[in-house]
Structure 1
Amino acid sequence: MDLKYEIIQHEEIEQCRDLCNELMTFQKSKANLSPELFDNMNFDTRMVPSIKNALHNFIVGVKDGEKMVAYVYSNISPKETYSNDFATFFDLSSVSKKNVGCLSQFFIKEEYRQYGIGSKLFNMSMDWLKQFDDVEDYFIFVSNGNDNALEFYNRKGFSVSHMILDGFITVLRK
């Protein structure tokens, strides 16, 4: 393996298209509640709008040679962004500042898991998020059935806050 970690500018997000779509397929395969909700979720409906609506974006891709094998996408957004037609992700009054940090998308191809890539990407994201003085609350939203992700984030200091959409998404907070 010849792994390279690269910060991806939002103008270059097309590099993440295939992995983002793989993430949606993976989440659907794990879901035991309403997997059909993933049918309309893909790069164009999830990542592109999120990047456009965020105040600040941070994307790191991992390549093995020229092949993209993992990515993480985090953002800083106004808290109101998380109350929309799809769901209200948290009680807006529970957030004292006007912006929140979110580790929004995280995917590693299966054959590259267990090599420390996840921890490195997670740490890079948290370091980036913590540089914003106007943010005190950090969120991660985990789709139902993805118990490995929940365990990973718990080990990293995030706690389950609540569930939304009748358990479809678990909200973690730090």
Structure 2
Amino acid sequence: MNLKYEVITEDQINLCRDLCNELMDFQKSKAHITPELFDSMNFETRMIPSVKSAIHNYIVIVKDDEEIVGYVYSNVSPKKAYSNNFATFFDLSSVGKDNVGCLSQFYLKDGYRKYGIGSVLFNMSMEWLNQFTDVEDYFIYVSNGNTDALEFYTRKGFTVSHDILDGFITVLRKKQNCKSSTSCQHN
């Protein structure tokens, strides 16, 4: 492998189109609770609106030679953006500041998992998110059936907060600079 990590701009998000659509297919293949909800989820309905509604966006792609084999998309958004027609993702009153950080999308092609690439992308995202003083709550949303992702994020210090949409999504949460999982738990 000849890996290169590259931060891209919002104008370059089309580079993530195919991988974002693969991510939606992957999530549907793992889901055991209402997998049909993924039928309408794709690059146009998930990534583009998220990028447009965020205050700050951070997108990193990883290439093996010139082939894009993974990406991570994180953002800082107003907390009110997480209460919409689809779902209320967390109790807005439990977040003290107006904005939240979110590791929104994360995908590696099959064959590139288990080599530490995900940890590099995760660490880059968290380093980026930690620079914002107006954010103290970080969220990650894991689709049902994706136990590998759930275990990965809990090993990285996130705790399961709650489920939404009858278990379709598990919400993970972490406070900024929180070191101990027992002092970081939320309702």
> Could you say whether these structures have the same fold, taking a TM-score greater than 0.5 normalized by the shorter chain as the test?
yes
Task: Output the amino acid matched with 2:8.
Answer: I
Query: Using the alignment, how far apart are the partners of 2:166 and 2:36 within structure 1?
Result: 14
SS at match of 1:110: coil
SS at match of 1:87: coil
1:1-174 equivalent positions in 2, closer than 5 A: 1-174=1-174
Query: Using the alignment, how far apart are the partners of 1:90 and 1:5 within structure 2?
Result: 32
5+ residue gaps, structure 1:
none
5+ residue gaps, structure 2:
175-187
Query: Using the alignment, how far apart are the partners of 1:126 and 1:106 within structure 2?
Result: 13
Task: Output the amino acid matched with 2:146.
Answer: N
SS at match of 2:33: coil
User: Sequence identity, in percent?
Assistant: 74
Q: Give the TM-score of the pair, scaled to structure 2.
A: 0.93
Shift of 1:29: 0.1
SS at match of 1:112: coil
Q: Which consecutive aligned stretches of 4+ in structure 1 deviate over 3 angstroms post-superposition? A: none
Note the aligned Cα RMSD (angstroms): 0.3
Shift of 1:92: 0.2
Q: Deviations over 1:91-120 (max 9, x none)?
A: 000000000000000000011111100000
Query: Using the alignment, how far apart are the partners of 1:155 and 1:121 within structure 2?
Result: 15
**Structure with the larger helix share:** 1
Report the count of equivalent residues: 174
Query: Using the alignment, how far apart are the partners of 1:114 and 1:96 within structure 2?
Result: 36
Q: Deviations over 1:29-57 (max 9, x none)?
A: 00000000000000000000000000000
